[in-house]
Structure 1
Amino acid sequence: MSTSKKTVVADHLREALSRGAYKPGERLPGEEELAERFGVSRATARLGMRILQDEGVIAIQAGRGAFVADHRPIVHLATPVSGGTDSERFEDGYQPHLREAGYDQVEQRIKVSLDTMRPRVAKRLRWGGEEEGPHGGLVVIRSCDRFVEGGLWQSQITYFPFTIASNTPLMAPQHLEQGVASVLRDLGHREEWNWDIVGARMPSQDEADSFNLGPGIPLLVHERVVYDGDRPLRFTETVMPANRHQLLYSGGEAPEELLLMASDVNIFER
């Protein structure tokens, strides 16, 4: 099967990008130049560039041209590491990394709501529908949207069984300075262990608009369920654009400088 002309254009550009012929943020040749170089029409050159835009490797700006995508993700601390705290701790864990990366306007907006335990949440919290009093099937939901320079950067939602969070500080739509784990501990629930799942998916149109994502950019989804013994205490889901975040896990006796070392790593480097 012969390769289409638009694919030829895309393949040549992709190869040039992979060997570093163009630097992140650099403007690419225009449609007319590419059409002449590859002996195709401008329309075909444009289609070839759109293939790379859909892959998230270039950004096409109306009236300005096409530019190499400049992905500079910050570290999302998936687990506590020496020199830093879990990214679930906004002021101690997530916010400082953004400020160190040069972002000045960083804020978190919290909402709290009450809902029935939907099947997806019930599955994570291992609630099988058995009654635990009149509110056994309810969850308290803490939503934390994190904004950078006015735009949505990361969204985190934590679900607590109503029997745990009812009439506690967890239901207040305010920043918990001491952190969720400390509040739970004060309530007699100790976070003994957890499991995490990390995956990637393409955003819905609403999510793409909310995060201001261009074509070809997936979302990272980080799920965590925390237990006290065999009892689930909470289910936390963090959704974040893959071009802005990279997850850091550590094990063993990691050195104090690990956070600094990892902050200098960019998975998009070629």
Structure 2
Amino acid sequence: MPPLRSGVLGALDPTSDRAVFRQIADQVREAIDKGRFKEGDKLPSETELVEHYGVSRMTVRNSLSVFQGEGLVVSEHGKGVFVRPRPLVRRLASDRFARRHREQGKAAFTGETEAEAEAAGSRPEVDSLEIKEERPTRDMATRLGGPRRVLARRRRYLLDGRPVEFAASYLPLDLARNTPIAQPNPGPGGIYARLEELGHQLDHFNEELRARMPTPDETKTLRMASGIPVIHLIRTAYDTQGRALEVCDIVMAADAYVLSYQLPAT
């Protein structure tokens, strides 16, 4: 079926004070939001849009730059502009570190994504794992109570083969060296289960969260289109004595997450 079939895109409003290129961008965005153009569909070419709206090629290019900047589309050289596939949304629930998940042998990422991924025919996985001993940054040292050396665990998380998050965990070296935590696979329940087996009872987690635009390296690591922000979350895990056991620095593709919290009313 031709891209500009009847009803997919409308006409310009000559009485509007909104710039013509923004009117075109509004219409294309609405067509994407309403499913007239679906994920992976090729958008009308510049020539088709010029003919449809009766405007200059530069006006069309200006409109294309608007929703390219919003991350709605991807451009493939020599092929055209396509509606960007959206990643499976992962729900970031407030109980994701509950002890019951560890007792079931589930690390936080795997446990949270299992049900949603299974329903979507997808699968969660981890790649780009790096484990090393290093000096912490000043910020990490402060958060962890001043250790001179830490064990760093860096990894990237995928859903259906698509990067959605990367994270770096930092633990005081005296807690983690020569333990399963220093191994690529720390075992069922992840590093928190191993910490508790080592006698460090987890008491609570503090999280700091903000949204921002990604750095060039983050865009590359998460393979994100331009215009997509990230969620930057720093989590600190404490034991019952108030000692910081781990700091996890996480960057997530914002369009791949819904933050879901249950908060007491008292």
Q: How many residues align?
A: 242
SS of alignment partner, residue 47 of structure 1: helix
Higher relative contact order (CA 8 A, sep 6+): 1
CA distance in 2, matches of 1:158, 1:105: 19
Residue pairs, 1:193-208, within 5 angstroms: 193-208=204-219
CA distance in 2, matches of 1:17, 1:172: 45
Residue pairs, 1:15-94, within 5 angstroms: 17=32, 20=34, 22-25=36-39, 26-80=41-95, 85=101, 88-94=107-113
Per the TM alignment, residue 249 of structure 1 is displaced from its structure 2 partner at its CA by 2.5
CA 1:251–1:95 in structure 2 vs 1: closer, same or farther (change >3 Å)? same
Residue in structure 2 matching 1:222, options 230, 233, 240: 233
Q: Which residue of 2 aligns with 1:119?
A: 138
Residue in structure 1 matching 2:117, options 85, 93, 98: 98
CA 1:176–1:78 in structure 2 vs 1: closer, same or farther (change >3 Å)? farther
CA 1:47–1:33 in structure 2 vs 1: closer, same or farther (change >3 Å)? same
Gaps of 5+ in 1: 128-135, 254-270
CA distance in 2, matches of 1:106, 1:168: 23
CA distance in 2, matches of 1:232, 1:147: 28
CA 1:79–1:58 in structure 2 vs 1: closer, same or farther (change >3 Å)? same
After the TM superposition, which parts of structure 1 deviate over 6 Å for at least 4 consecutive aligned residues? Answer: none
CA contact (8 A) 1:52 1:58 kept: yes
Letter in 1 for 2:137: R
CA distance in 2, matches of 1:59, 1:190: 47
Residue in structure 2 matching 1:157, options 148, 168, 182: 168
Farther off after superposition, 184-193 or 145-154 = 145-154
Q: Which residue of 1 aligns with 2:258?
A: 246
CA contact (8 A) 2:180 2:186 kept: no
RMSD, aligned α-carbons? 3.1
Q: Which residue of 2 aligns with 1:265?
A: none
CA distance in 1, matches of 2:179, 2:125: 27
CA 1:9–1:77 in structure 2 vs 1: closer, same or farther (change >3 Å)? closer
CA 1:88–1:41 in structure 2 vs 1: closer, same or farther (change >3 Å)? farther
CA distance in 1, matches of 2:22, 2:111: 47
Letter in 1 for 2:129: I
Letter in 1 for 2:36: Y
Letter in 1 for 2:111: D
CA distance in 2, matches of 1:155, 1:162: 22
Farther off after superposition, 54-63 or 96-105 = 96-105
Letter in 2 for 1:232: A
CA contact (8 A) 2:135 2:148 kept: yes
CA contact (8 A) 1:110 1:174 kept: no
Q: Which residue of 2 aligns with 1:237?
A: 249
Letter in 1 for 2:143: R
After TM superposition, the score normalised by the length of structure 1 is 0.74
CA distance in 2, matches of 1:95, 1:110: 20
After TM superposition, the score normalised by the length of structure 2 is 0.75
CA 1:156–1:23 in structure 2 vs 1: closer, same or farther (change >3 Å)? same
Per the TM alignment, residue 63 of structure 1 is displaced from its structure 2 partner at its CA by 3.9
CA distance in 1, matches of 2:135, 2:182: 15
Letter in 2 for 1:102: G
Per the TM alignment, residue 199 of structure 1 is displaced from its structure 2 partner at its CA by 1.9
CA 1:202–1:167 in structure 2 vs 1: closer, same or farther (change >3 Å)? same
CA 1:49–1:226 in structure 2 vs 1: closer, same or farther (change >3 Å)? same
CA 1:101–1:123 in structure 2 vs 1: closer, same or farther (change >3 Å)? farther
Per the TM alignment, residue 16 of structure 1 is displaced from its structure 2 partner at its CA by 5.1
Gaps of 5+ in 2: 1-16
Quote the sequence identity (%).
Answer: 27
